[in-house]
Amino acid sequence: MLLIEDVTQDEGGHCVGHMMRRVHGEWQASPALLDSEALAGQHRQASHAENRGCDEVGDDDGDRAERAGRTAVTDFDAALAGFAGMDEEALARAWPWRDKQMDVRYALYRTLEDAQEAHVRVSAGRHPESRRILALAQRAFGDLRGLLIGLPPDLLDTAPRAGEWPIRETLRHVLLVERRYATQTRYAVERADAEPVRLPDDRQPTAAPTDVGGAIGEILAKIAAARAETNRWLGDVTPAAMTRPTVWATHEIDVRFRLHRFAPHIVEHSIQCEKTLLALGWRPTEGRRIVRAIAAVIGEVEGLGALAGAREVESQLVERFASVRS
């Protein structure tokens, strides 16, 4: 049985008590890995106005505090979920823009255009290599967010086949590995030369505190907070530190390799979630397909450090959703 690092192995590839197995083409954890603690989620209103009109690139103290603190469901999440639930008929309803009568569909595409404009502005700036790499992970998370936002609880907790993970457990794995990757990569960057290359076992995140109870918005907020912490820790790695040695499974690699692991891991399990939903008979609406594209671009804008720009686009989506509902 092949074991996969970051849940089932320590930094040197040694088994620490849990195994992953491939079931119907998917990697699944042994039942011992899965805890059942619940997340006590709280909802809050998102405050967007203070960031409006700001195009600055980079992280000041306020940006970093916001990034670390967005741990609850926001108005943006509610707007994403609302638009994601719209079928062709709902998207074809009239929606005014400037002096023309457009449709609700264009409210979404106009927001995608806004997001693209923000992305072009921020991507033209100078960014550390580590930030550009992690922006790809933030984009991948945006796509995952768009795929899952607003899903009902029964789709979260129904396994596609006997012995396979429901979406909630897949997201538990995503959250745990995000934390482990971040901790291990940060250790590789910051450790003294005299310290061991492999992170000691007692300093690695474990499955026990990985709470993914509650509705999908609360779970995604938890992952978003973990992603924000990763970006804060590792968004400004120096060029010299990018080649520092570390270990992934049994392989000797460097920090750059580890940073590039974040995005593919999210993509891998986004695909797993989508396959699970399709196996359960779920099909995405046209609205959700567009929402995924919007959330992905906003994610990359945020990942590149333009938090104010990302919040501005989110505010525009919230306003447009309110206008559609009125």
Question: Is residue 172, in this structure, part of any structural domain at all?
Answer: yes
Question: Is residue 263, in this structure, part of any structural domain at all?
Answer: yes
Give the CATH number, domain containing residue 144. 1.20.120.450
Are 143 and 296 contacting, i.e. CB atoms less than 8 angstroms apart?
A: yes
> CA 134, 30, 167: angle at the middle one, nearest 5?
55
List the domain range (segments joined by +) for residue 176: 51-325
Least Cα distance to 204 among 227, 229, 186, 231 occurs for: 186
Are 142 and 5 contacting, i.e. CB atoms less than 8 angstroms apart?
A: no
Are 222 and 175 contacting, i.e. CB atoms less than 8 angstroms apart?
A: yes
Q: What is the pTM of this model?
A: 0.80
Question: Is residue 13, in this structure, part of any structural domain at all?
Answer: no
**What is the average per-residue pLDDT within 59-74?**
52
Rg (alpha carbons) of the chain, rounded to whole number:
20
In DSSP notation, 44-65 reads: -----GGGTT----S--HHHHH
Position 254 confidence tier, pLDDT thresholds 50, 70, 90: very high
Are 134 and 181 contacting, i.e. CB atoms less than 8 angstroms apart?
A: no
122-155 pLDDT, tens per residue?
Answer: 999 999 999 999 999 999 999 999 999 999 999 9
3 state SS of 94: strand
Position 56 confidence tier, pLDDT thresholds 50, 70, 90: very low
Are 148 and 273 contacting, i.e. CB atoms less than 8 angstroms apart?
A: yes
Number of domains the chain is built from:
1
Any idea which of 2-11, 122-131, 305-314 has the lowest mean pLDDT?
2-11
**What is the average per-residue pLDDT within 263-279?**
98
Position 210 confidence tier, pLDDT thresholds 50, 70, 90: confident
Angle of helix 216-234 relative to helix 61-69, nearest 10 degrees?
Answer: 150
**How many other CB atoms are there within 10 angstroms of residue 245's CB atom?**
11
146-197 pLDDT, tens per residue?
Answer: 999 999 999 999 999 999 999 999 999 999 999 999 999 999 999 999 999 9
Length, in residues, of the chain: 326
Question: Is residue 27, in this structure, part of any structural domain at all?
Answer: no
Distance CA 218, CA 303 (A): 21
Distance CA 322, CA 76 (A): 11
Distance CA 9, CA 3 (A): 7
Phi then psi for residue 103, to 5 deg, are -125, 170
Mean pLDDT across the chain, nearest whole number? 82
**What is the average per-residue pLDDT within 87-99?**
96
Question: Is residue 265, in this structure, part of any structural domain at all?
Answer: yes
Q: Is the dihedral of CA 291, 77, 219, 226 positive or negative?
A: positive
Question: Is residue 43, in this structure, part of any structural domain at all?
Answer: no
| 195-198 contacts, C-beta under 8 A, 24 or more apart | 197/245, 197/246, 197/247, 198/10, 198/11, 198/12, 198/246, 198/247
Distance CA 309, CA 146 (A): 19
pLDDT score recorded for residue 70: 56
